[in-house]
Amino acid sequence: MRVLPSGRRARVSAVAGAALVLAAWLVVVLRPDASYPALKAGCDRGELFVAGGTDVSLKNQRRALIQQWNKGHRPHATLVEVADSTDLQHSQIKAVEESKGCAYDVLIMDNTWTAQFADAGYLRPLDGVEDLDDFFPVALRTGRWKGKQYAVPFNVDVGLLYYREGVTPPTTWQGLLTSDVATQLAGYEGLTVNALEAVWNDGGGGVLTGEGRPSGKELRAKVYPALVRLASRLRGRLGLSRQYKEPESIEAFAADAALMRNWPYAFSALASEPRMRDGARLRFGVTALPGRTVLGGQNLAVSKYSPRPDAAARLVGFLSGAQSQRLLFACGGFVPGRYSALGLSPGHRSPADVRAPACPSRSGEAGPPDEAQLTGFGRAVVTALGRVRPRPVTPHYSTFSDTFRGCVQKIFNGEGTDAASFARAVERSLDGRPASC
């Protein structure tokens, strides 16, 4: 089965400081195999470098898009896959931008980074990107900061519910939490995401989302109790999920779990897994999560320190364009950021209107998923997009996420964290002040 590699998942503590982050980054990046040529190139160079995480799209469709660019455009581009985990990607790319290094031209960023990177002056505003009204508005907004568009969607992520053949998926959040569901509760960004979804679906629907700042009362009365209730349900598969990131939850589902909460990329991974197929038929289904879900995804931005900013902006336009987005979805299994890539148009944007494009065949290879399966998948995604909420929009998101999930882990462990301590720690983190429960 095709899942994320398990190695290189070390995290760099935010309190270690920029020097230690950069040192760790250099250890990871400056490897003998010279697979990171951007660091050897001077600022006066003719090639573009695109920095992002490991390409988990089916058949490495991100790399294929870069190759398409290279066939018809100059300067050529190289995709630099800096790390597997979102946390480590953030540390490494941030370290380069903090040092004002010219190693990267285009950044593939988690959509929570925009506020931090734009506020720090690491990004150039984007001008001239075509058909902005074709992007899903909720995803496009994640690329804005203080009235300027600094990034555009590359792919969108929403929480989806996967269910095995013969299993009826629950239609309520409480029904989900009492089922045999595999999710992601290990100590990384996935825990933040899952905990936020639990809060929003258990009494805290308008808290810790977007630019609004929660009050201490809301954190004590809505957020903390929802997390305590989630902790009380950590039995069976949900309890085992404390060991799971995305790949482990995919494996648990492919093995025997009845249900799985995961991102859209898992659809193509499972559709290519022999245990999940019976000939052309898939032995699983996918639907929107019951209730609210986190808006995830990656955005494209141009580094302030790129020596070729105009060319980098053209590359962003190519990668976020309608044709590239269609291929990313049909061939790569990633959800596009544009309506048109799902066959939608103004006035026809309901889930029932989705018409998935077919992936052009490669050397006569058919391979799953097919057009009808992708259309069903796309409809689940569009339904989920109607229920999404953004994570907190703040230049201090990484501090918040580290603090929040550390507090969640203490609640899960029954370590005596009370509502007042929790509220104080989260409030401090939203101001960029490291804290703990």
Per-residue pLDDT of 235-266, as tens digits, reads: 999 999 999 999 999 999 999 999 999 999 99
Helix then strand count (H, E) for the chain reads 17, 15
DSSP letter assigned to residue 222 = I
Q: Is 0.85 surpassed by the pTM of this model?
A: yes
- Lowest mean pLDDT of 178-192, 287-301, 363-377, name the range: 363-377
Question: Does the pLDDT of residue 196 top 90, yes or no?
Answer: yes
Question: Does the pLDDT of residue 296 top 60, yes or no?
Answer: yes
- Lowest mean pLDDT of 116-120, 179-183, 356-360, name the range: 356-360
Give CA–CA dist 33/65, Å, rounded. Answer: 24
Question: Does the pLDDT of residue 2 top 70, yes or no?
Answer: no
pLDDT for 303 equals 98
- Determine the Cα angle at 111 with ends 105 and 117, to 5°: 55
Nearest to residue 187, comparing CAs of 408, 424, 426, 13?
Answer: 408
Give CA–CA dist 295/386, Å, rounded. Answer: 10
pLDDT for 67 equals 97
292 within 8 A of 383, measured Cβ to Cβ: no
Domains and CATH numbers, the chain: 14-157+296-330 (3.40.190.10)
Confidence of residue 48 (pLDDT cuts 50, 70, 90): very high
Question: Concatenated DSSP letters for 375-434?
Answer: HHHHHHHHHHHTTEEPPB--TTHHHHHHHHHHHHHHHHHT----HHHHHHHHHHHHTT--
